[in-house]
């Protein structure tokens, strides 16, 4: 693998890792908060984190395509893990967009449920990352 390719993957991985921290950390912290302003700030951070994961995750594949003219050669459990991560990111984006747009009308229980759901999605995705890594 060339230095340019290694550098590309490394830079994307840095972005992807910080996105993971934002989604997992922001969601779990928000489950402990009751202050609406703080939770909205965290919702912005977590939404940015989810979008970052989808974009940087896709960029991994694009870099492979650029250098090898084909997408990553993965199968079995790696594909399942990637699919789970993509579903989590899609649901995470939709959930946080809904939260920022609509949560002023939600009950306290509804807001709490949203943060627990975002935490479950983020923890599932970061766990899936380990299977994608070691089954590829
Ligand atoms: C559309 C969504 C996503 C895509 C397409 C994607 C794709 C990828 C790819 C291709 C890798 C490199 C795998 C390898 O080294 O073989 C990776 C690594 C990783 N992803 Fe994602 N990802 C997505 C979402 C997420 C999310 C939501 C999280 C966490 C909340 C996450 C956390 C990680 C972590 C921690 C790694 C590094 C794993 C390691 O090397 O040990 N990803 N992801």
Nearest CA to ligand 1 atom 31: 126
* pLDDT one digit per residue (tens) for the chain, 136 residues: 899 999 999 999 999 999 999 999 999 999 999 999 999 999 999 999 999 999 999 999 999 999 999 999 999 999 999 999 999 999 999 999 999 999 999 999 999 999 999 999 999 999 999 999 999 9
pLDDT given for residue 47 in this prediction: 98
CATH architecture of 3-135: Up-down Bundle (1.20)
| Cα–Cα nearest to 50, from 98, 107, 10, 6 | 98
How much is the pLDDT for 1? 84
* Ligand 1, atom nearest to 17 Cα: 35
CA–centroid distance, residue 117 to ligand 1 (Å)? 19
Choose the residue to mutate in 57, 61, 71 for probing ligand 1, maximizing ligand atoms within 8 Å of C-beta.
Answer: 57
User: Quick one: angle between helices 108-135 and 36-68, nearest 10?
Assistant: 20
Q: Which atom of ligand 1 is nearest to the CA of 90?
A: 1
């Amino acid at each position: 693998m060339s230095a340019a390719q290694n550098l590309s993957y490394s830079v994307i991985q840095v972005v992807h890792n910080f996105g993971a921290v934002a989604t997992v950390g922001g969601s779990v912290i928000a489950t402990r908060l009751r202050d609406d302003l703080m939770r909205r700030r965290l919702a912005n951070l977590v939404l940015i984190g989810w979008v970052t994961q989808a974009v940087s995750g896709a960029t991994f594949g694009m870099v492979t395509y650029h250098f090898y003219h084909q997408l990553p050669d993965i199968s079995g459990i790696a594909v399942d893990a990637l699919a789970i991560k993509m579903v989590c990111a899609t649901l995470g984006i939709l959930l946080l967009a809904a939260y920022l747009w609509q949560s002023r009308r939600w009950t306290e229980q509804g807001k709490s449920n949203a943060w627990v759901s975002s935490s479950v999605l983020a923890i599932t995705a970061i766990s899936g990352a380990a299977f994608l890594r070691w089954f590829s």
